[in-house]
Amino acid sequence: MDQAGIIRDLLTWLESHLDQPLSLDNVAAKAGYSKWHLQRMFKEVTGHAIGAYIRARRLSKSAVALRLTARPILDIALQYRFDSQQTFTRAFKKQFARTPALYRRSADWSAFGMRPPIRLGEFTPPQPHFITLPETHLLGTTQSYSCTLEQISAFRNEMRIQFWHQFLSHTSTIPPVLYGLHEPRANADKDDEQEVLYTTALPPEMANSNIPNLQPVHLEGGDYVQFNYEGPAEGLQNFVLTLYGTCMPMLNLTRRRGQDIERFYPAHREKLAEPPKEVRCEYLIPVRR
C-alpha cells in the first residue's frame, strides 16, 4: 500500500474542500479507511494530526479573506465551519496571537501563524533574495479589476495579458525590461471581492512616445524580498500563490504596505502575434525586516 500516495491525494482533496464539512467520519469515508486507521496513517506520513492540520489550514484561509476582502468576520467564520464568531475568534487568536479584527486592521501583514499546505514528495521552494530598492520613478498606466478570492488565479493571468497587450499595442519593439505593479485592496462595493490595481510601466528612458496616456508612477524605496521565476507564462500566478502561501510563512516575513513588483525581461524584442509562452520575471514583495 502506497501510504504516501494515498495521503498526497487526500491532501489535495482537503485543500479544495476546506469550506465543506470535514469531520473525521467524512474524511475517512473519502479515503476509504476507518477514521482510526486514517488518523494513524496521516500522522505517520506527515508528522501532523489530521484534525489539527485541517483547522490550521482553515484558519490560514480565513486570515487571507480577512486581509483581502471586507467580508464580515462572522461570514468568514461560518464559511470555514466555525459555529460562532466567538469560537472562531478564540481559535484565531490562539494561532495568530491577535484577534481577527486586529489582524484585519494591522498596517503590516505578518506571516506568523500561517500554516502552509503540506507538500509530499520533491519540492524545492523558490529561493529568497533580500534587496533594498531606491525610490524609483516610472511612466505607466494603472487599471483595475475585481474578483473573489476563488477567482484570483484565473483573473490575474487574464488581466496581466490584457493590460500588457493594451500597453504595448502601439509599440513596434518590446523594451528590455517591463514593470508590473500590484496593489490589492478590499472592494468598497462588494465585500466578498478584492479590487486589484495593476500598473504597467517602464523606466522613463525606455518609454516610447507612441504609448498613450502615460502617467508618472512612484515606486517606493525600501526592503524587498525577491524571488525569480522562469517558465510557462500561465504558471506565474501559481508561483505567486506559492510565495504567499508557503515561502513567506516559512521565512516568517512581514509584508509592509506597498506594491508587489513584477520585473519582466522579455526574451524577444520584436512584437509577437501571441503573448509569450515563456517568461522570465523577478517578483518582489515589500517586507519589514
SS3 for 72? coil
Instruction: Please count the other Cβ atoms lying within 10 Å of the Cβ belonging to residue 34.
Output: 13
Residue 268's Cβ-count burial label (10 Å; 0-12, 13-18, 19+) is exposed
Alpha carbons 212 and 199: distance in angstroms, whole number: 14
pLDDT, tens digit (0-9, with 9 covering 90-100), for 243-270 = 999 999 999 999 999 999 999 999 877 7
Instruction: Look at 256 and 149; give whichever has higher pLDDT.
Output: 256
Its pTM stands at 0.92
Query: Is the confidence at residue 151, as pLDDT, over 90?
Result: no
Dihedrals φ, ψ of 208, to 5°? Answer: -95, 135
Strand partners, 288: 254
Alpha carbons 50 and 44: distance in angstroms, whole number: 11
Cell 479515503 belongs to 31
State the pairing for strand pair 222-232/260-264. Answer: unpaired
pLDDT, tens digit (0-9, with 9 covering 90-100), for 184-238 = 888 888 888 888 899 999 999 887 767 778 899 998 899 999 999 999 999 999 9
Alpha carbons 231 and 206: distance in angstroms, whole number: 25
Domains of the chain plus CATH, in order, are: 3-106 (1.10.10.60), 129-288 (3.20.80.10)
SS3 for 89? helix
